[in-house]
Amino acid sequence: MGRKIARFFIVLVGLFVGPGLTALVYELLGRIYNTDAYSMLPDIYSLLIFISAGIISGLVFLFISKPIVEFIFKSAGDADKKLSKLPASVVISAVIGLILGLVVAFFLSSLINSIVTLPWIAGIINVLIYIVCVYLGISILTRYKPDFSESGIFKRHKDEDAKSKNAVLARPKLLDTSVIIDGRIFDICNTGIIEGTLIIPEFVLDELRHIADSSDDLKRNRGRRGLDVLKRIQNELDFPVRIVHAEIEETTEVDSKLLFLAKDMDGIVVTNDYNLNKVAAVKGVRVLNINELSNAIKPVALPGEEMYVTVVKDGKEPGQGVAYLDDGTMIVVEGGQKELGNPVNVIVTSVIQTAAGRMIFAKLK
């Protein structure tokens, strides 16, 4: 929507550029022939010329509006990403330097206007003065910011700077709907092993809200759980969290939008969706899969190791029993069917790693 509005205003400006240039041509012709150029043609012809000039310039601006808007939005996005990585005190220093530079340039330009009699020379000098003063103001205050911070000017932003520096060191983490509903992301962030800013796109929030408003009880409970997890992340974790509004016109699917945004922000998608993980790998987007992380930190079981487990159900094959570790890892016990419901000592025979997790095969001791 923002791009369409910008293109509309560019085309609107284009409609007035043509008549403006036509009026300038009429003025030049009048000076050349020392006459009123508008009297050289009938009024109806002059009106048609002005209308035609407006239509032509409007069409030209219509064709060039798209690349202009894309360039503006891309430049604004790049500037926003660079500014977001700067500590708060650096940004404040730059703003104060800009203001001081403009004030000094204003007084110097007033002095130049009173000394130099030729307006066009004074104008050129004033432009140079403004450029130099603004540059010096910004560069000096940002360069010597630590001296000011020691004197207490930026003391209140010390904590914000520390958080910003920590966030800059790591790439932003974009949460998808599935990992928010899952809820384990809160505990993982609480351990402190994840660094960087947590990014929650608005389209992910919209999807969560639609799930929470579903008529299906299971979906509704899942959606509300996800919203509760987000609230806990924002309120209980000392962690930088940003809700980002992003307009992505290339697709309407939430997962695709998330990948586009992650690539644009040079971020990492946090998910437990197996299919999203595969698509992200194809598109060159880094992914942190919670399920893979969970499998990676499960205790390692080696062949020959003894375990003490409880057989809880029958296995698929005759005579087999199934037990589980505390982390949910399934253990298939050969001959364990006869020990159903009993705690037994088993010896690990082999370990298989699957996409769903780790599976351990064992036999009774």
User: What is the CATH classification number for the domain harbouring 355?
Assistant: 2.40.50.140
- Banded model confidence at residue 167, pLDDT cuts 50, 70, 90: very low
* Separation of alpha carbons 325 and 175, rounded Å: 29
Asked which of 143, 164, 185 is the last residue of a domain, the reply is: 164
Task: Tell whether 151 and 268 lie within a shared domain.
Answer: no
* Separation of alpha carbons 173 and 75, rounded Å: 22
Q: Is residue 234 part of a domain?
A: yes
> What number of H helices and E strands is found in the chain?
13, 10
Task: Tell whether 175 and 282 lie within a shared domain.
Answer: yes
Task: Tell whether 281 and 185 lie within a shared domain.
Answer: yes
Asked which of 147, 164, 181 is the last residue of a domain, the reply is: 164
Q: Is residue 188 part of a domain?
A: yes
Neighbouring CB atoms inside 10 A of 181's CB total: 23
φ, ψ dihedrals at 267, nearest 5°: -110, 180
The pLDDT of 181-198, averaged and rounded, is 83
Task: Tell whether 44 and 128 lie within a shared domain.
Answer: no
- Residue 304 amino acid letter: G
Q: Is residue 101 part of a domain?
A: yes
- Is residue 197 classed as helix, strand or coil in its secondary structure? coil
* Separation of alpha carbons 144 and 217, rounded Å: 59
- Banded model confidence at residue 154, pLDDT cuts 50, 70, 90: very low
Task: Tell whether 218 and 315 lie within a shared domain.
Answer: no
The pLDDT of 332-339, averaged and rounded, is 86
**What would the pLDDT profile of 101-145 be if each residue is shown by its tens digit?**
889 888 888 888 888 776 767 787 888 888 888 888 877 877 765
Task: Tell whether 287 and 313 lie within a shared domain.
Answer: no
Percent of the chain scoring above 90 in pLDDT: 0
Mapped to the 3 state alphabet, what secondary structure does 329-353 carry? CEEEEECCHHHCCCEEEEEEEEEEE
* Separation of alpha carbons 258 and 350, rounded Å: 39
Task: Tell whether 121 and 223 lie within a shared domain.
Answer: no
- Banded model confidence at residue 41, pLDDT cuts 50, 70, 90: low
Residue 128's pLDDT is: 87
Segment (H or E) for 360: strand 357-364
| CATH number of the domain to which 213 belongs | 3.40.50.1010
Residue 182's pLDDT is: 85
The pLDDT of 158-175, averaged and rounded, is 61
Q: Is residue 284 part of a domain?
A: yes
Task: Tell whether 276 and 209 lie within a shared domain.
Answer: yes
Asked which of 52, 78, 104 is the last residue of a domain, the reply is: 78
Task: Tell whether 184 and 272 lie within a shared domain.
Answer: yes
* Separation of alpha carbons 310 and 321, rounded Å: 10
Q: Is residue 53 part of a domain?
A: yes
Q: Is residue 83 part of a domain?
A: no
* Separation of alpha carbons 51 and 57, rounded Å: 10
Residue 101's pLDDT is: 85
The overall average pLDDT reported for the chain is 79
Residue 2's pLDDT is: 67
pLDDT tops 80 at residue 70: yes
Residue 292's pLDDT is: 77
Task: Report how many domains make up the chain.
Answer: 4
State which of 113-117, 152-156, 293-297 shows the largest mean pLDDT: 113-117
Task: Tell whether 327 and 310 lie within a shared domain.
Answer: yes
pLDDT tops 60 at residue 207: yes
Kindly provide the b/e burial profile for residues 67-84, where b requires at least 16 CB atoms within 10 angstroms of the residue's own CB: eebeeeeeeeeeeeeeee
Q: Is residue 340 part of a domain?
A: yes
* Separation of alpha carbons 137 and 96, rounded Å: 8
Which residues constitute the domain of residue 71?
2-78
pTM for this entry: 0.47
The pLDDT of 339-345, averaged and rounded, is 87
Residue 35's pLDDT is: 66
Residue 147's pLDDT is: 47
| Length, in residues, of the chain | 365
Task: Tell whether 271 and 230 lie within a shared domain.
Answer: yes
Residue 149's pLDDT is: 46
Pair of tokens at residue 304 = 């020959």
The pLDDT of 175-199, averaged and rounded, is 84
Strand 306-314 versus strand 173-175 pairing type: unpaired
The pLDDT of 211-237, averaged and rounded, is 86
Task: Tell whether 218 and 334 lie within a shared domain.
Answer: no
pLDDT tops 60 at residue 153: no
Q: Is residue 301 part of a domain?
A: no
Closest to 175 (Cα-Cα) out of 269, 51, 311, 286: 269
